[in-house]
Amino acid sequence: MKNIYSVPRKKLLLVILFLCIGSGAYAQFSSDGRTGNVIPTGVPFLLVSPDPRSSGMGDAGVALEDDANATFWNPSKMVFMKSNSSVSLSYCPWLRNLVSDANISYLNFQAKTDDRTAIGVSMRYFNLGKIDLADANNTSQGAYSPYEYAIDASLARSFGDNFSLGFTIRYISSHIFNSDANYKLQAGSSVGADLSLFYRNKFDLFGKESHFSFGTDISNIGSEISYDNTIASQSFLPANLKLGIANTWVLDNENELTLAVDLNKLLVPTPPQTDSNGRIIKGKSTDVSVPAGIFGSFSDAPGGFSEELQEINYSAGLEYAFNHRFFLRTGYFYENPNKGNRQYATFGVGYKYDFMDFNFSYLAASQQKTPLANTLRFGIVFNLGRK
């Protein structure tokens, strides 16, 4: 962010929130501050897809089999890996239409401990670049490099050959402020958890071998995060429900085609409609506990059931595999215009060489509508002890 923003420290939070929220924020801040009843959360980087494979398929991944980044999408899948263990690393330059030095990195390790159990650990690191600070008189106050990270530990256990459950515990740390004696701002931290399920089955469809799978993951269930130890400033973690299906058709010995579809919904209270005095006109108060916020998120939209449906995001993707070595991917992501308006197509390629997988994805969208346009992701996977 060098030479992009020079702001008083009091206003730094607005800049950081703008950068973290991404495409939704771009639309919201382009005119009068909002384009719809967008649901705000803390640390939204936790929802950013880290790996190029699923990113190339429209961000669909909760039900994909043989996933080297299962700890993010659905930890339950780890126990059905084709390799005994894997290490994956991915990198994504972030919001390059706005800033030049923000990026997201992801490191993941997962391994089977026996035929029924698998474990995984991972780390996400969000580097927001460098911010030049200035006071109200535009006097330089030095520079600060904000960052956020999350460290995960996951466990998966299968029950039979086709069904598994998973659990993740997560530590989250957000350093979007430097120490500020005047405003008493500090790093925020929280602990969250994920619960997941995975089911797969093999059958014949139209005379071809077919692999069907279903997955669900409830992520980021945890305490609110704050930067000044006051209840008024606390923000919900981006608790999220992912549901997905995938099906792979084995066309012949060399060709396979996979279709994946995901649905996502934030399990966070929707802001109500209020009058000029702050009294609620429609909707419900967001001053609730985390469990109440999660369960209430299905019925608290001011616009009723129709608005609840608008809060569902849709991802769909295709993957073509040739000889289990070369992969072509495409997909589409849709978010309702009233809820952030992220809409984009994605493309990706992959190549498997010996025990290594190389993956790349590209996000195609209008630069006028979203700063996510032209987002690239790069990744490499080391498959150890592959069957």
Per residue in 314-328, pLDDT (tens digit) is 999 999 999 989 999
* 171 belongs to a structural domain: yes
Tokens of 198: 């995975």
For the chain, give the percent of residues with pLDDT over 90.
53
- The reported pLDDT for the residue numbered 229 is 66
* 3 belongs to a structural domain: no
Average pLDDT over residues 63-70: 91
Element (H, E) at 19: helix 12-21
Neighbours of 237 (CB within 10 A): 26
Distance CA 117, CA 114 (A): 5
- Domain total for the chain? 1
Which residue, chain included where needed, has tokens 């991917």? 329
pLDDT digits (tens, 9 = 90+) for 76-123: 999 999 889 999 999 999 887 777 788 999 999 999 999 999 999 999
| DSSP symbol at 299 | T
Cα–Cα distance list, 23 to 133, 308, 337, 349 (Å): 24, 20, 11, 24
The SS3 of residue 99 is coil
Average pLDDT over residues 216-238: 84
* 265 belongs to a structural domain: yes
Q: Which of 88, 46, 36 has its CA nearest to residue 264?
A: 46
b/e map 178-197, b = 16+ CB within 10 Å: beeeeeebebbebebebebb
* 275 belongs to a structural domain: yes
Average pLDDT of the chain to the nearest whole number: 84
Is residue 12 over pLDDT 70?
A: no
pLDDT digits (tens, 9 = 90+) for 329-357: 999 999 998 888 888 999 999 999 989 99
- The reported pLDDT for the residue numbered 59 is 95
Cα–Cα distance list, 110 to 86, 166, 194, 246, 338 (Å): 6, 13, 16, 22, 38
Cα–Cα distance list, 334 to 35, 58, 195, 199 (Å): 16, 9, 25, 25
* 34 belongs to a structural domain: yes
User: Does residue 358 or residue 287 have the better pLDDT?
Assistant: 358
* 125 belongs to a structural domain: yes
- The reported pLDDT for the residue numbered 263 is 97
Distance CA 46, CA 112 (A): 25
Cα–Cα distance list, 344 to 148, 317, 373 (Å): 26, 12, 8
Tokens of 161: 């050959």
Up-side HSE of residue 203: CA atoms within 13 Å toward CB? Answer: 8
- The reported pLDDT for the residue numbered 376 is 92
- The reported pLDDT for the residue numbered 28 is 38
- The reported pLDDT for the residue numbered 322 is 95
Average pLDDT over residues 159-185: 82
Is 358 buried (19+), middle (13-18) or exposed (0-12) by CB count in 10 A? Answer: middle
* 43 belongs to a structural domain: yes
Up-side HSE of residue 198: CA atoms within 13 Å toward CB? Answer: 30
* 294 belongs to a structural domain: yes
Contact between residue 239 and residue 225 where contact means Cβ atoms under 8 Å apart:
no
For the chain, give the percent of residues with pLDDT over 70.
83
Backbone angles phi and psi of 308, in degrees to 5: -60, -40
Domain that residue 172 falls in: 9-386
Average pLDDT over residues 250-262: 94
CATH number at residue 333: 2.40.160.40
The SS3 of residue 145 is coil
User: Does residue 332 or residue 26 have the better pLDDT?
Assistant: 332
Contact between residue 338 and residue 27 where contact means Cβ atoms under 8 Å apart:
no
Is residue 31 over pLDDT 50?
A: no
Is 160 buried (19+), middle (13-18) or exposed (0-12) by CB count in 10 A? Answer: exposed
| DSSP symbol at 34 | -
Confidence of residue 374 (pLDDT cuts 50, 70, 90): confident
Is residue 24 over pLDDT 80?
A: no
List the beta strands (DSSP E) in 128-187: 131-134, 140-144, 147-158, 163-175
First-last CA distance in the chain:
45
Q: Which of 294, 199, 193, 203 has its CA nearest to residue 249?
A: 203
Distance CA 70, CA 87 (A): 11
